[in-house]
Homo-oligomer: A and B are copies of this chain.
Amino acid sequence: MFNDLKIDRSRPVYLQIKDYLKELIFSGLLQAGMRLPSTRELSAVLQVSRNTVIQAYQYLEDDGFIRIIKGQGAFIAFETEDTAHTGLQLDWEHLMSKYALMATELDVEKKELKWKKGMLSFKSIAPDPELFELEDVKRAFLNRLACEGKKLLNYGYAQGYKPLLEYLQTYMKNKGVKIEGKALLITNGFTEGLNLVIRALTKPGDQVICENPTHNTALKIMRLSGLEIKGIPMSLDGLELKQLEACLDQQQIRFGFLIPSYHNPTGLVMSPEKRQVVLEIFQKYRVPIVEDGFNEELRYSGAHVAPLIALAGESNNVIYIGSFSKILFPGIRVGWIMADERLIAYLESIKRAHNIHTSSVDQGLLYEYLQDGRLDKYLKKVRRVYRQRHQMAVALAKTYIPDCRVWGEGGLHIFIELALNLNARQVLDECYRQGVVFMPGDIFFTDRSGENTFRLSISRVTPEMMETGFKIIGDVVKQVMKQLN
């Protein structure tokens, strides 16, 4: 005993001795009442300074594993209990709720083909980390911590960190939102935002509307919440208004989930005129709209288009969910909901019951980072980069992928529609074998249609990667077409 400890000089040595002795205690080799070697003895055996051993013994005493009796030595104080019991093995699968089974079943991360090292990936629409400004982030953190670090490290408010709430209020006002009577709630990103709204407005079995196709995470959350989803078809011209109205007229709809700007996955932008009409239709049937602000900041060209919540003016039926995760730092998980203040009060209580509040440190960091026009400058930079990639992606897709329609005006992705008789999963399977991965389109559809579509993310790829990858995709499509003829 004691001389089989291999000491790693790059880590604090007293910690290693402490952990080693704990292991001996847990394993039963050192039992309650036994005396440890003196600090002098152990330091000689381990060839470390006596002080190091003294320190290790002190922490062990502090943790309640040994008792040091003056003049007598250190004794094991912890009784290893017999942990055999029945060796009970529960079968978790049979104990799982339907919710848990469904969450696993709907988990795209687990069910879809995974990126492997060396592959060309057009799958994730995470932002390009090379665009992050690390030095600004560090400075923002240090500044904010210097201002009110102790406050930020302790419990905060469920609604959010006040300075950030005020910043976002002005930010939304600058999008044209009439902020009187409205309030904000900070969330752990868009995903939590949508979950909170669904918890507040629906119960399982309720009906909701969304665009078909739509954001796959939103679809997952709605399905998992037991909602009956009415998908309204999209053409290249956007949402089909007649079907929207018919659906609202015939069904009891709890809300409509819409992505008016740079829609995921199609990349379409709803025109100002169409926004007006959509608003009027929802208002006629007194149904709330949940507006996903998603990619709104990634406008590449053209005039500013006001979000639905701005166009709605004094009306209170639009619930806006915002996030900077597609441009700034998704790693900090901060999003927000803006809506009627009476609705926000309910959402706040649900949020508090779910996780008390969103990290104050992250909120403080984001707030400080956004100061002094830094967001504007950053947006200017990333819009330029992503616009170039987007334009190139559209051009390359048209060049290499035969007989396809390329959807979308912006965002971090393009959406490809193949001829109707082609199956995108068949294309994906062959591409995957050749080292290219992307997102099959059917996961975005409410009715599992869209089998001839797929989404290509362009947020983290170079022109060379697109050239190589799209060429492989195009060749596979040709090959599949040939097989069909």
Contact = CB atoms under 8 A, between A and B. Distances in A.
The dominant DSSP class at the A interface is helix
Interface in A312-336: 312-317, 325, 329-333
Interface string A58-72: 010011110100000
Interface stretch (A113-121, A198-206, A391-399, A471-479): A198-206
A482 interface: no
Given A201-B95, A361-B365, A365-B361, A151 B174 contact: no
Interface string A1-34: 0000000000110110011001000100000000
Contacts of A283: 85-86, 88
Query: What number of copies of this chain does the assembly contain?
Result: 2
A84 interface: yes
A355 to B, nearest CB: 4
A379 B62 contact: yes
B129 A154 contact: yes
B176 A350 contact: no
A173 to B, nearest CB: 8
Contact of A92 (B156, B331, B346, B355): B346
27 contacts: A19-B174, A59-B380, A64-B299, A67-B303, A79-B272, A85-B280, A86-B284, A87-B313, A88-B286, A88-B316, A90-B316, A90-B317, A93-B342, A97-B202, A98-B203, A104-B345, A104-B349, A134-B150, A137-B145, A137-B153, A138-B145, A154-B331, A189-B355, A192-B354, A224-B353, A333-B359, A362-B362
A295 interface: no
Nearest to A59: B376
A242 interface: no
A361 B328 CA distance: 13
Contacts of A331: 151-156, 359-361
A132 interface: yes
